[in-house]
Structures are given as structure tokens and as C-alpha cells.
Amino acid sequence: MLTFSQRYGYKSSVLQYENASETLKKRVFASFYKQEFDCVLIDWANSTTEIEEMMIEMGVLYEYPQNDFARKRNIDALQKYIMSAKEWYIIFDFIEKYLMHLSRDIAKKMSQQFNRILEEEASAYRIIDNLVVPLISEQEIESIETSLAIPYDSVRMHLRKAVENFANRKNPDYENSIKDSISAVEAMCCIITENKDATLGKAINALENKGIRLHGAFKSAISSLYGYTSKEGGIRHGSIDFTDATVEDTKYMLITCSAFVNYLIAKWEKVK
């Protein structure tokens, strides 16, 4: 039996997937407004602010800001655009565009605030590296964010692409997300073994020569994941026949491969 709050929409035990409630949108916008417009003094002799630039990109700028009154009308236009949008994903597009215009520290702060709102409103999405992605636990988010901050460009590039393809709300590309997740592990193994042309299967076996010893069962598990993506008709062969990758498959590969990259780096740092 549903409780009062659940019946009338004050609280839901069902995750909002491909949906964004009015309350969620209002809270996100209120958090944005408080950060950007409460107690902010603008020198209107200067050029358009970055927030107005964001509104121009979104196509919702009412007029170029010349004073506080014009600025208020811009904010009203933005709020109306977000709250009246029929597409559920508009609020998440707004979050991503906004975070892209912030400094690293402020983006981190606002991501934490937005994630708290998403959690409290039972949303099926969270923010990772300024992108909105389907629900992942705090520990899993931390693992992915750690891997996205590593100093190895080729590995980081694959992981970033994996997140972007996973996070694309209009046209998610699970196939390529999985491919880039496992490619990140392969790239990390190639860096450690100093063999840029090695496949993951060969590179995994060569890790021991660099002092990195993996338990047999662990090595077998990673090799099996690689086999899953490399077999005939599999993802890494680019076969059009592989069309059954799900959001659960993709999330699992992204989390597992990010964690394994972090694990390899930690092991490698001990023996370098």
C-alpha cells in the first residue's frame, strides 16, 4: 500500500527514468539561481557574462543584458523554457551546458548540489565529470571519476568516450561505450608493458614481466570480458549484428573497466 506522500507525489520509491518531475526541475533551477544571481553584482559596462552566453547557445536569451531588469527577463525566459519543456531531458541538457561554463571548483560544487537533488528526488541519473548519466552508486561514481583524472591520455580518452556514449540521452551508443571501456583497459596494459601494439589478451599475460601479478581467476575474468567484446560478431569487430547491448551491460563494463584501470595503476606504482 502506498503512503500518503507517495500517492500525492511528495516522495517516490520508483526511480524517475526518462522522466523529470516538476519538483526536480524547480529545485535544480533554484540551486542554479541561488549560485548565479543571489547577491551577484554585475558591471554592465563589461561584455556578456558566461551565463548569458550559455543562454544564447540554448536559444533562450530574451535580450542582451544591459541592466538588472534585462537580466531578470533573461532568467524568467530561461525558467519558462525549462519548466514548460515537453522533453524530459531538457533539464539535464541545461545542467550539462551550465556546468561546462563553470570553473573546475564551482562545477564540482554545483555537481554535488545537483546530485543531492537528483538523489532526493529519486532520479535515475547522476552527474559524472559534468555529464548526466544513468544511475550509478557514489562508490562507482568515485571510481569512474578517479579513472578520468589519470595522466594517461590514451586511456582517459577511451573512458571519456565511454561515458559520453553511455550518457547520450537522445541516442545512447551502448555498443561503442562498451568498446571504449575495454579499450581503456587494453591501452593501460599496453602502457605498462611498453608494447603499444599488443592486444589485451597478450598484454594481460605480459603484466607479470613488469612485476604485476594477478590472481588466475581475476586474469581469467578480465580475459573473458575481452573475449566477450572481441569474438566474431562481437562489439570490437563492429558487427552490425550485435544489437542487444543493454544499459545494464554498458554500465557494468564502464564501472568494471574503470575500476580495473585504477587497480592496474595502483599495482604498477608499487613496482615502478
How many CB atoms are closer than 10 A to CB 25?
21
Burial class (CB in 10 A: 0-12, 13-18, 19+), 173: middle
The 10s digit of each residue's pLDDT in 24-66 is 999 999 999 888 876 555 554 444 577 778 888 888 877 776 6
How many Cα neighbours within 13 Å face the side chain of 80? Answer: 10
pTM for this predicted structure: 0.66
Q: Is residue 71 over pLDDT 90?
A: no
Other CB atoms within a 10 A radius of the CB of residue 132 amount to 23
- Give percent above pLDDT 90 in the chain: 37
Identify which has the larger pLDDT, 66 or 18. Answer: 18
CA separation for the pair 95, 145 (Å, rounded): 18
Integer angstrom CA distances of residue 97 from 117, 121, 235:
18, 21, 31
Do 140 and 159 touch, CB atoms closer than 8 A? no
pLDDT exceeds 50 at position 232: no
Min mean pLDDT across 63-77, 100-114, 142-156, 164-178 is at: 63-77
The band of 150, judged by pLDDT with boundaries at 50, 70 and 90, is very high
